[in-house]
Chains A and B, each alone.
Chain A
Amino acid sequence: MQTPASFDYERATSVEGAIASLARLGPEARVIAGGHSLLPMMKLRLAQPEHLIDINDLEAELSYIRDEGGEIAIGALTRHVDLLKSELLAQHFPVFRDAEEVIADPVVRNRGTIGGSLCQADPAEDLSAVCTAVKAKAVIRGTDGQRVVPMDEFHVAPYMTAVNDGELLTEIRLPLFPGAGSAHEKVERRAGDWAIAAASAAVWVDRSTIHDVGIGLSAVGLTTVHLKRAEELLRGKPPSEELFQQAGQVASEDCSPMADGRGPVDYKRHLAGVLTKRALSRATARALKQEA
């Protein structure tokens, strides 16, 4: 039997209450949502929080996917299953459905949340790459109000985010621009595993030119890798397989994978390149179809 260390438990009844508790209890308090990353770590005593604030009752406040005109807002407690099934997301950012189809399994997706995934900040986690590609912003609330943080500033180190003690991630915002297409590509050792490597790409096409692009990689760096140099290369050019191949080359160079049980460095670099190329290709095909 695997038993976590002892802790105190509190069930939040409002976002405000949860934030007040977090502020009061300080660094030894952790938020629990789906718990599907936190519990295994607690069982292995890799995490030993003294207080758990359970936010699962806050669905009315924190579980939604809505079009707010100019952007899509996703509540932090939105479950994977809702991201998978959302037609609104599939219409604007099919990259979410691509990723959700290969995240773990249906039972995990019933419980796990987007906020939990982003805050766990596992470098191999898929949604962080997706959010990086689509240029998402994270809304973080504390006792003094809220702040909005772009994805680049959200992940500060492995398993560490911009969410400070006494703060709660409440919402993810996805800006909407015309001509969007997006896709997620992943290679794993077994169905539902963490990625050996994964690539998310979003492109915004304007009159057969790549107007803007976002690329995020999972599992090939200390945190989610944002491929700025590859984006630079693509911006303003007409899409082509050759161009995507070059972007893939840049991806292989710019990622910084570490060897682990899922694969060695050279193979991960290679995958980063191939998957970037494939994700860009599919994203662009989707954008052009939208445009047409």
Chain B
Amino acid sequence: MNQHHEVRLNVNGTEHTVSVPPRKLLVDCLREDLRLTGTHVGCEQGVCGACTIIMDGQNVRSCLMFAVQADGASIETIESLASGPEDLHPVQQAFVDCHGLQCGFCTPGMVLAAKSFLEQNPSPTDDEIREAIAGNICRCTGYTFIVDAIRTAAERMAGEEAGQHV
């Protein structure tokens, strides 16, 4: 039992092969084997959303998946969002501008939840934004500035889109 498996992961555009026991959680694999510590371990029971990543285009809690289950998957973590070492993705920039964070522990999960949501729903209502982050707990804010940030990001990205098509 507990025989190691070779697992192939495409993480943030880079192919990795890691050798893990089946019981190793995906979040621990990302943090320990790949040293991507932007994905946080919070409640460990799938409630808080601090470990949220994007797997094959969908938000997933990396504390509720084994690394072996992700074999062959494409994963985006918070470290992938900005295109260059100094850049910020429009969602990240909106969080900066709207003060959509405080301690920063929930922030990577919150940003990834927002990013994949906006890809599916580029012009959301506030109700839809609230529902989109219903699985991400923030203990510092009252969430309103996070909603502001996501709305602002949507508006800016829509503006860019429109600009490109003109």
Contact = CB atoms under 8 A, between A and B. Distances in A.
A–B contact with Cβ pairs below 8 Å: the answer is yes
A203 interface: no
Interface stretch (A34-42, A120-128, A267-275): A34-42
Contact of B61 (A50, A52, A56, A107): A107
Interface string B111-146: 001000000000000000001101110000000000
B28 A1 contact: yes
Interface of B: 1-3, 5, 21-23, 28, 41, 44-46, 49, 52, 58-61, 64-66, 68-69, 71, 113, 131-132, 134-136
A45 to B, nearest CB: 11
A126 to B, nearest CB: 16
A81 B14 CA distance: 29
Contact of A1 (B41, B46, B60, B68): B41
A176 to B, nearest CB: 30
Contacts of A7: 1-2, 22-23
Sorted nearest first, the 9 A-B pairs with minimum C-beta distance are A105-B135, A6-B2, A9-B22, A107-B135, A105-B134, A2-B44, A39-B64, A107-B59, A4-B23
B135 A40 contact: no
Nearest to A52: B22
A35 B134 CA distance: 19
A6 B21 CA distance: 8
A262 interface: no
Interface of A: 1-9, 11, 32, 35-36, 39-40, 43, 50, 52, 54, 56, 104-108, 110-111, 191-192
A7 to B, nearest CB: 6
Contacts of B65: 35, 39, 111
Contacts of A54: 68-69
B64 A35 contact: yes
A39 B25 CA distance: 10
Q: Looking at B28, B69, B71, B136, which has the most chain A CB atoms within 10 Å of its CB?
A: B69
Contacts of A191: 134
Contact of B58 (A35, A56, A110): A110
Contacts of A35: 64-66, 69
B128 to A, nearest CB: 10
Nearest to A54: B69
Contact of B134 (A5, A50, A106): A106
Contact of B52 (A4, A107, A192): A107
Contacts of B113: 106-107
A43 B135 contact: no
11 contacts: A7-B2, A8-B1, A11-B71, A32-B69, A36-B46, A40-B46, A52-B66, A107-B60, A110-B58, A191-B134, A192-B134
Given A8-B3, A9-B22, 15 more contacts: A6-B23, A8-B1, A9-B68, A35-B64, A35-B65, A39-B65, A40-B46, A104-B135, A105-B49, A106-B135, A107-B49, A107-B59, A107-B60, A110-B59, A111-B64
A43 B61 CA distance: 15
Contact of B60 (A50, A52, A111): A111
Contacts of A4: 23
Nearest to A51: B1
A110 B44 CA distance: 18
B66 to A, nearest CB: 7
Nearest to A193: B47
